[in-house]
Amino acid sequence: RSGVELVMKRMLSFIAIIFIFLGYAFVAEQKHTSNHRNETKRIGLLQYMDQPALKQIQKGVYAGLKESGYTVGKNLKVDYQNAQGNQSNLKTMSEKFENEGVDLSIGITTPASISLANTTSTTPILMSGVTDPRSASLVQNLKHPEKNITGVSDQAPLEEQLELIQKLMPNLKTLGIIYTSSDNSAITQFKKFKQLVSKTGIKLKAYSISNSNDLNQVSQNMVQNVDAVFVPTDNTIAGAMSTLVKNANAANVPIFPTVDSMVKDGGIATYSVNQYQLGVLTGKMAARVLNGEKISQTPIEFIKHGDLTINLKQAQKLGIKIPKDLMQEAQKKGELIK
C-alpha cells in the first residue's frame, strides 16, 4: 500500500508542477500582451480616395483598434494619408510610411494595398476593402498568406443582389452594368455577375469608363438602352454617384449598387457588406498583428452575408413597389431610408 501511496504522491506533485508552470506561462503571456499594448505603436493608414464607403471603413479601423486596446494619443500613432485617387500619390505615401519605420500599414482599397505591397516585403500590411486579393496578386493562399500581407475582403454577395433585383423588377429584360476598366475589384465582380445573369434569361449590357470624366456621357447612353443599372464595387463611380443618379432619374431607370452608401446617394436597394464593420474587423486584425500574431497565421477574412439597405424615397420616385417583407428586413437587419 505504501508503494501505491508513494506513486500517487509523485503523480500529484507532478500535476501540481504542471499547473504551476502553466500558470506562470499564462501570466507571462498576459504580461507580454500588456507590454505590447502599453508600448506606442505606429501605423500607416493609406486611403485611395474620398468617398462615403471608404470613410466608413476608416472609422471602423479606428474603432476596431480601440476595442482591442490601441487608442490614438495613448499607445498608438496613426499617419493617415489620402491619395485623392492619384496613383503617384499612392507611391509617395507608401514610401513615406516605410521611411518612417511604421510597425504596420493598412491599405483601404485594392490600389492602396497594391502600392503598399510594391513598397515593402517585410513590414506587415493589412488590406481592407479588397474584393479579390488573389486576382490582384496580393496573396495566393487565402488561409495562409505567404507574403507580408493579409486583411479583410469586401467581396459583395452578388447572388443575393441579383435575387433582390429580380424580386423588385420581376419583368426585367435588359440590365446594364457599368464599371471602371482599371478597377480590379469592379472587373472581378463584373465577370462573376455576368456568369450569374447568364443563368436567368436577363440580357446584360456592359459599359465601362476609364475615369470619372467619362461617366456622364457613357451613363447617358446606357440608361437609354436598359431597364435597370447594376454597379459593382467601384470607387470611381461611387465618388461620382450623383452624375449617374442624375442621368438615370432623367430616364426613370433604377440603380442597384453593391454598396449601402451608394443606395443613400440615389440607388434603390442592395445587400451590401457593412463598410464600418469591415473596418472594425480590419482594426481588430491589426491589433492582433501588433501583438505578435504572424501574417502567415492570419487568414483573409470575409463577411459572408450582406445587410439589406433600401431607399424607399427613391423607389417611390421611380414607381417601384417594395414588398413588406423586404421593408421589415431592412428595418430589423439593415437600413430603410425614407
> Do residues 45 and 78 touch, judged by C-beta distance below 8 A?
yes
> Do residues 197 and 162 touch, judged by C-beta distance below 8 A?
yes
What is the predicted pLDDT for the residue at 32?
47
Per-residue pLDDT reduced to its tens digit, 39-56: 899 999 999 999 888 999
- Report field, pTM of the whole predicted structure over 0.85: no
Per-residue pLDDT reduced to its tens digit, 149-190: 999 998 889 999 999 999 999 999 999 999 999 988 899 999
| pLDDT > 70? residue 9 | no
Alpha helices per DSSP H over the chain? 2-38, 52-67, 87-100, 110-119, 158-168, 184-197, 215-222, 235-239, 241-250, 260-264, 275-290, 312-317, 324-333
What is the predicted pLDDT for the residue at 39?
84
Distance CA 234, CA 52 (A): 12
Per-residue pLDDT reduced to its tens digit, 196-229: 999 999 999 999 999 999 999 999 999 999 999 9
2 pLDDT tier (thresholds 50, 70, 90): low
303 pLDDT tier (thresholds 50, 70, 90): confident
Give, rounded to a whole angstrom, the gap between the first and last alpha carbons of the chain: 82
- Residue 267 grid coordinates: 440607388
Beta bridge partner(s), residue 216: none
Q: What angle do CA 23, 27, 29 make, to 5 degrees?
A: 115
> Do residues 158 and 308 touch, judged by C-beta distance below 8 A?
no
